[in-house]
């Protein structure tokens, strides 16, 4: 039951156009620079930041298996960048 609830929240989180904001910076400058930090919902964002928001190019790590690479504006994903590299 708990696993189903967690999966449901993850799906809602992926579908809802939320705004990311830095909760805790792990490395670099998560205010206005380049850094790696936790978002308020516990995900990890690595890339460019402005005023405490992901802003510019970066990657949001949702889980060990899922990451979203793209361009962000004030914490919102505006363009997803697909990785065209084929794994062999």
Does the global pTM surpass 0.85? no
Please report, for the chain, the start and end positions of each structural domain, with discontinuous segments joined by +: 19-77
pLDDT tens-digit profile of 50-72? 999 999 999 999 988 899 999 99
Query: What pLDDT score does 8 carry?
Result: 38
Phi-psi region at 75: left, alpha or beta (left = phi > 0; alpha = psi -120 to 50): left
The count of C-alpha atoms lying within 13 angstroms of the C-alpha of 50, restricted to the half-sphere facing its C-beta, is: 10
Q: Return d(Cα 52, Cα 9) in angstroms, integer.
A: 24
pLDDT tens-digit profile of 8-47? 344 444 444 467 776 789 999 999 999 999 888 889 999 9
Query: Please, what is the average pLDDT of the chain?
Result: 80
């Amino acid at each position: 039951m708990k696993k189903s609830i967690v999966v449901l929240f993850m799906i809602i989180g992926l579908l809802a156009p939320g705004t990311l904001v830095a909760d805790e910076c792990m490395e670099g400058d998560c205010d206005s620079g380049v850094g790696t930090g936790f978002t308020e919902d516990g995900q990890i964002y690595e890339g460019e930041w402005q005023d405490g928001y992901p802003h510019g190019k970066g990657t949001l790590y949702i889980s060990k298996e899922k990451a979203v690479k793209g361009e962000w504006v004030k914490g919102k994903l505006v363009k997803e960048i697909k990785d065209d590299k084929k794994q062999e």
